[in-house]
Structure 1
Amino acid sequence: MLKCHLCRVKPEILKRVGQAITTLPENFKPHRAMKKIFELHAATIESGQGIDWAVAEALAFATLIVEGNHVRLSGQDVERGTFSHRHAVLHDHETGAKYCPLDHVAMNQNEELFTVSNRH
């Protein structure tokens, strides 16, 4: 018989990783719609109210990464999310440069802890 393990994350850790995954670099220029989405996600994480599937998924991935677990996503359109919900990889609206918030949830994080690759 499988043993059930208690699995939970302290609220302060959720808020810390939530802030990390919703904070974009100063010089990064996302599309204005993405900026608004990230601001909304930050507000829902701070309040703890209205957390949707996309935010819950990102928080789950972030807490796994903080714990040292590798998270790998592969498939069709996984960077953006099938219904444009995930936004795991953002593109600078002016330069086209990519930014992955989940690569920046822990100090000195090994960027290989989170890998996301679209299958074509």
Structure 2
Amino acid sequence: MENPYAAARAPAPEPPPRRALFSGIVAAVFCLLTWFTAVGYLGRNSFRFSKAGFFVEPSPNNEIASLQALWEHSQHLLLAASALCIMLGAPRLRVGALRRARVVSIWALAVGAYALYEFIVKSLSPLIAGMP
């Protein structure tokens, strides 16, 4: 007679490996949402920014020129951070230290993207009278 409890004592099968791409995609979505929020902020306040000369070339003063350069470069940086998050998340790493370093770098990129957005908003707001 077979033992009915033998299956319960058998070792559990290994769980399937988690998708390594998940954290990269989530961080990339975070970076892209930050980019869309920054673009929406600029679009929503475009009339006020145009009155301050933000969209004028050449810019009326050096402060606005530096903020224009920051805005232009930050768009490229946010999109590049999104692509880099996906590329870092693509390989499946089984080594613990490398995997942790990859996840930390992915989320450091996402947090850096949000910090860059906050810096841009805080830099542009004082230029416009009556900005919230």
Asked if these proteins are the same fold (TM beyond 0.5), I'd say no
Query: Normalization by structure 1: what TM-score?
Result: 0.33
Q: Which has the higher helix share?
A: 2
Q: Which has the higher strand share?
A: 1
**Looking at both structures, which has the greater relative contact order when contacts are Cα pairs under 8 Å and sequence separation is at least 6?**
2
